[in-house]
Amino acid sequence: MERTESLEAFYREKMGVLPSEIFRKTGHFNVFTMEDYAGERPAYPMPYSRKDYYKIALIRGAHKVEYADHTYEVKQNMLMFANPQIPYNWTPAATRPTGAFCVFTEEYLKGFGNIKEYPLYQPGGTPILDITDNEVEQVMSLFDKMFKEIASEYTYKYDVLRNTVFEMVHTALKLRPALTVIDTSGSNAGDRIASLFQELLERQFPIESPVQQIRLKTAAEFADQLNVHINHLNRVLKKAMGKTTTQLISERVASEARALLKHTNWNISEIAWCLGFEDTSNFVKFFKKKSATTPQKFRV
């Protein structure tokens, strides 16, 4: 798997410049047209890697997107919400992709709401939308608003742009209401525990080196970390997400296993160790149960 791409690397390698304000204490935001980004270069597959910044991209036309261990075939137009936790790449069908995208850091949104609470950025959410041409016009109007604002001399333009980022998120959720996976806006203890569990689970991924091993492997370890009884944690997660603690852990481990088998050349024992299996044969049994095939056959 490719190393995490930093925001500085994005500017240096893809844009050829490094903005002087990239290290502002208030974080960073910028918006681009796909045409300006692509220039005269032919389309090429983006390396499968995690980025250390957020991106919202509108790309017209058919695409193939690899996000975590999933592959999405976009038939019309793509609206993608990428976050620093999940590795991804995309391959455009057209040689000159058109559209627009914005990039921003988590620091940029600090104090202006928690973007991680939205389904598009939660584990199990669907961050890739296949949208119609009419929906493209709706989304593009928000990007046009960003272009106009960032070019203005208005003192508080970056505050306006923050609002537009959240407007983009809400627009996507209204276009696809079924994207909602869990409501973490409530204040009850059960919702908070479910949200904290998801955060602890996702914090261990993606695995980026064969010497990196997940620390929390069992339901009991997560319960201890959250300072709750394992039975209570199971009840909370069953109510909030419809699955037990063990089921959620094993599904996420299986997802990471498929990503590592697909996108690295590490041997099976290395992947097994990274995912908490001291015995490779136990990993093979686990993977076969979850994926209906062996790791070796999956990799072919």
pLDDT digits (tens, 9 = 90+) for 72-92: 888 888 999 988 877 788 777
Give burial (CB, 10 Å; 0-12/13-18/19+) of 248: buried
Give residue 69's pLDDT: 67
Q: In this predicted model, which residue has the larger pLDDT, 37 or 293?
A: 293
Q: How many CA atoms lie within 13 A of 109 on its CB side?
A: 17
Q: Which fold has domain 189-299?
A: Arc Repressor Mutant, subunit A (1.10.10)
Q: How far apart are the C-alpha atoms of 268 and 152, rounded to whole Å?
A: 54
Which band of pLDDT confidence, cut at 50, 70 and 90, is reported for residue 182? very low
Q: In this predicted model, which residue has the larger pLDDT, 126 or 217?
A: 217
Average pLDDT over residues 158-182: 82
Which band of pLDDT confidence, cut at 50, 70 and 90, is reported for residue 13? low
Q: How far apart are the C-alpha atoms of 12 and 19, rounded to whole Å?
A: 10
CATH number, span 7-179: 2.60.120
Which band of pLDDT confidence, cut at 50, 70 and 90, is reported for residue 255? very high
Q: How many CA atoms lie within 13 A of 135 on its CB side?
A: 19
Give residue 42's pLDDT: 47
Name which of 69-73, 131-135, 161-165 the model is least confident about: 69-73
Pure H helices in 131-244: 133-150, 157-175, 189-202, 219-226, 230-241
Name 80's bridge partners: 57, 128
pLDDT digits (tens, 9 = 90+) for 228-249: 899 999 999 999 899 999 999 9
Average pLDDT over residues 129-141: 92
Q: How far apart are the C-alpha atoms of 114 and 132, rounded to whole Å?
A: 29
* 286 pLDDT above the threshold of 90: yes
pLDDT > 70: percent of the chain: 82
Give residue 231's pLDDT: 93
Nearest-10 Cα torsion for 56, 58, 62, 65: 0
CATH 1.10.10.60 spans which residues of the chain?
189-299
Average pLDDT over residues 263-275: 95
Nearest-10 Cα torsion for 292, 294, 299, 300: -90
CATH 2.60.120 spans which residues of the chain?
7-179
Which of 19, 21, 22, 88 shows the shortest CA–CA distance to 59? 88
Q: Is the pTM of this model over 0.75?
A: no
Contacts 24+ apart (CB under 8 A), 81-84: 81/54, 81/55, 81/56, 81/120, 81/121, 81/127, 81/169, 81/172, 82/51, 82/54, 82/55, 82/56, 82/57, 82/127, 83/54, 83/116, 83/121, 83/127, 84/4, 84/50, 84/51, 84/52, 84/53, 84/54
Q: In this predicted model, which residue has the larger pLDDT, 215 or 19?
A: 215
Give residue 90's pLDDT: 79
Give residue 37's pLDDT: 66
pLDDT digits (tens, 9 = 90+) for 15-55: 555 555 544 556 889 999 987 765 544 445 566 777 888 99
Average pLDDT over residues 136-150: 96
pLDDT digits (tens, 9 = 90+) for 88-131: 887 776 667 789 999 999 889 988 888 888 888 876 667 888 88
Helix, strand or coil, per DSSP, at residue 208:
coil
Sheet strand arrangement including 29-33:
29-33, 99-104, 54-60, 77-82, 128-131
Name which of 6-15, 102-111, 153-162 the model is least confident about: 6-15
Residue type present at position 8: E
What is the average pLDDT value for the chain, to the nearest integer? 83
